[in-house]
Amino acid sequence: MDMKEYIEQAEKDLLHTYNRYQIVLDRGEGVYLYDIEGKKYLDFVAGIAVFALGYHYPGYDEALKAQIDKLLHTSNYYYNVPAIEAARRLKKLSGMDRVFFTNSGAEALEGAIKAAKKYAWQKDGAQDHDLVAMNHSFHGRTMGALAVTGNPKYREPFEPLIGNVSFAGLNDFDSVMSCVTDKTCGIILEPVQGEGGLQPASEEFLQKLRALCDERDILLIFDEVQCGMGRTGYPYAWQRYGVKPDILTSAKALGCGVPVGAFMMTERVAQNSLTSGDHGTTYGGNPLAAAAVEKVLEIYERDGIVEHVQKIAPYLEKRLKELSEKYDCIIEHRGVGLMQGLVFDRPVGEIITRAVEKGLLLINAGPDIIRFVPPLIITKQHIDDMIGILDTCIE
């Protein structure tokens, strides 16, 4: 079948929950993707911040193939070496003390919520604890994750969700204080909002949240599914600010293509929250997923991936700033590291569609923002090529 026929077949068979671009991707190499007709695309989407190492990074495929030849799955009734090694490496990178592997970011967020509620229940036995989340946040599509997602359009069709959730403004500490009660068990936020428009939290705001949580024994939960794993120029964004959470979620680039996530916590939380029987997963931390995590983390350390982000990100920021100064329709440039956005005074869908036609993959973050979350291995030449194509599309 040709591309058109494949797309027509997909529209007959797949549930239409995505408005997909009209291309059928076939393979990848480095920072490029190719469709089934052989057309080449420079990828500044990376599977929505998943493919931090690009496609077929040396050693990654081989590690997965070797594990396939050994063992794919055991269940969590037994130990397996890849999960043990992956947890050890992830603790070192993240600075946290305990790890629970999941299958996705939304699943990791669900576990984080349960841990916070169990922590509070352990203290007073009450079942009416509340959570504070941020406006414009995005935490996933499952019912618990939706409940703390700060965009009504995602929540409303599926309500009632889990209750006792209030929403405050990112970087508005007074609004947080207006939401906090003596029943608040957790404050949850993305240190850099992704779907919410590439908006970073301020260091002062995070410091105030940390102090508040320490004072009232509330758990501070950071969702770093998108902004973690080196994308901000630090292993995890909390390390950029020096404000450590009690619970941390991770996914996307954690497996660089293999579906895997994790929630992590401090030893204090681990000793006072989830115990045997409280939480579980059939596939979470299975040998194949864990082998991917272990290899990714080994590559990060061996090849200095985070250090490369620190070197290359300022160049991306510089080129985007130049572009924003060139066009009046670009009203703001914001972001951190290799998680950048351009805010336009109009919808950006047509620009992104033109870019696809010219061999450049981009995505939006809301109707008027183009998001740039490329593989972390990009070079200056890749950035220049991207800017050159995008320039013609805006023009």
Report the alpha-carbon distance of residue 262 to residue 267 in Å, rounded.
Answer: 16
Which residue shows structure tokens 């957790």?
A: 186
Tens-place pLDDT, residues 245-277: 999 999 999 999 999 999 999 999 999 999 999
Tens-place pLDDT, residues 233-251: 999 999 999 999 999 999 9
Report the alpha-carbon distance of residue 292 to residue 113 in Å, rounded.
Answer: 26
Give the start-end residues of each E strand in 210-276: 219-223, 247-250, 261-265
Q: Is 230 left (phi over 0), alpha (psi -120 to 50) or beta?
A: left
Average per-residue pLDDT in the chain?
97
Other beta carbons within 10 angstroms of residue 97's beta carbon come to 14
Tokens of 284: 């979470």
Check residue 180 and give its pLDDT.
98
Tokens of 277: 């029987």
CATH 3.90.1150.10 fits 3-57+307-394, yes or no: yes
Q: Which amino acid is it at 197?
A: G
pLDDT-derived band at 143 (thresholds 50, 70, 90) equals very high
Average pLDDT score over residue span 75-79: 94
Domain boundaries, the chain: 3-57+307-394, 71-303
pLDDT-derived band at 388 (thresholds 50, 70, 90) equals very high
Report the alpha-carbon distance of residue 58 to residue 30 in Å, rounded.
Answer: 10
Report the alpha-carbon distance of residue 151 to residue 170 in Å, rounded.
Answer: 13
Q: Check for a shared fold between 3-57+307-394 and 71-303.
A: no
Report the alpha-carbon distance of residue 393 to residue 389 in Å, rounded.
Answer: 6
Residues in the chain, total: 395
261-265/98-102 β-pairing: antiparallel
> Angle CA(255)–CA(258)–CA(264) in degrees, nearest 5?
40
pTM of this prediction? 0.96
Do the Cβ atoms of 189 and 170 come closer than 8 Å?
yes
Check residue 138 and give its pLDDT.
97
Q: Which of 238, 201, 246, 253 is nearest to 48 (CA)?
A: 253
Report the alpha-carbon distance of residue 33 to residue 107 in Å, rounded.
Answer: 28
Do the Cβ atoms of 124 and 272 come closer than 8 Å?
no
Which residue shows structure tokens 């695309």?
A: 41
Q: Which long-range contacts (CB under 8 A, 24 or more apart) does 28-33 make?
A: 28/54, 28/55, 28/56, 29/55, 29/56, 30/54, 30/55, 30/56, 30/375, 30/377, 31/55, 31/374, 31/375, 31/377, 31/378, 31/382, 33/361
Check residue 38 and give its pLDDT.
97
Tokens of 31: 């920072």
Tokens of 14: 């797949």
Q: What share of the chain is helix, strand, coil (3-state, %, to 5)?
A: 45, 20, 40
Do the Cβ atoms of 229 and 47 come closer than 8 Å?
no
Q: Which residues pair with 55 in a beta bridge?
A: 30
Do the Cβ atoms of 57 and 299 come closer than 8 Å?
yes
Report the alpha-carbon distance of residue 353 to residue 358 in Å, rounded.
Answer: 9
Query: In angstroms, what is the C-alpha Rg of the chain?
Result: 21
Check residue 213 and give its pLDDT.
98
User: In Å, what is the CA distance from 138 to each residue of 106, 176, 192, 285?
Assistant: 10, 17, 11, 24
pLDDT-derived band at 282 (thresholds 50, 70, 90) equals very high
Architecture field, domain 71-303: 3-Layer(aba) Sandwich (3.40)
Report the alpha-carbon distance of residue 304 to residue 93 in Å, rounded.
Answer: 12
Check residue 299 and give its pLDDT.
98
